[in-house]
Amino acid sequence: MKLKDLSQEELENMSYDDIAFVILTEKNEKMKIIDLFQEIGKLIHLSQSVIEDKIGDFFEMLTLDKRFIMLDDGSWDLKTRHAQNVIIEEEEDDISVEEVEDSEEENEDEEVFYDESEDDEAEDDLKDLVVISDDEDEESML
């Protein structure tokens, strides 16, 4: 879909984020949010006051739309143009699946004891909890 192929009525019936998608696709470059929204405003004949009033809503719309990504410099682009680097840091305390399987085989004959210290920590979270029975609750309301 190209902007030049769309009628004014079709443009006005499109959402701002759909128009932004077409603009970014055609320009093939990132844009600052104000420049992008200004261009949308020109296309659908929005007044400057409407652009100023709706820029916050437009920002929210872009942040929720999975097609867009905000870059480090504050500009916006299509997410498909940017590789996402996922870094998974491993800690030394992590146990791999193989290690767990090996330790289970070694400990099959050993007895397993329950660690009560874990219960103590959970009980500490509940120490200020007060239980009121239904009878007490009704009496306090009288």
Per-residue pLDDT, 60? 93
**Percentage, residues of the chain above pLDDT 70:** 62
**Residue 96 in contact with residue 54, Cβ under 8 Å?**
no
Per-residue pLDDT, 18? 92
* pTM over 0.85, yes/no: no
Q: 3-81 falls under which CATH superfamily?
A: RNA polymerase, subunit delta, N-terminal domain (1.10.10.1250)
Q: What are 68's two structure tokens?
A: 């867009």
From residue 114, give the alpha-carbon distance in Å to each of 92, 111, 127.
25, 10, 22
Average model confidence (pLDDT) for the chain? 77
- Give the span between the Cα atoms of 20 and 33, in whole angstroms: 10
Of 73, 79, 37, residue with least CA distance to 54: 37
SS3 35: helix
Domain positions in the chain are 3-81
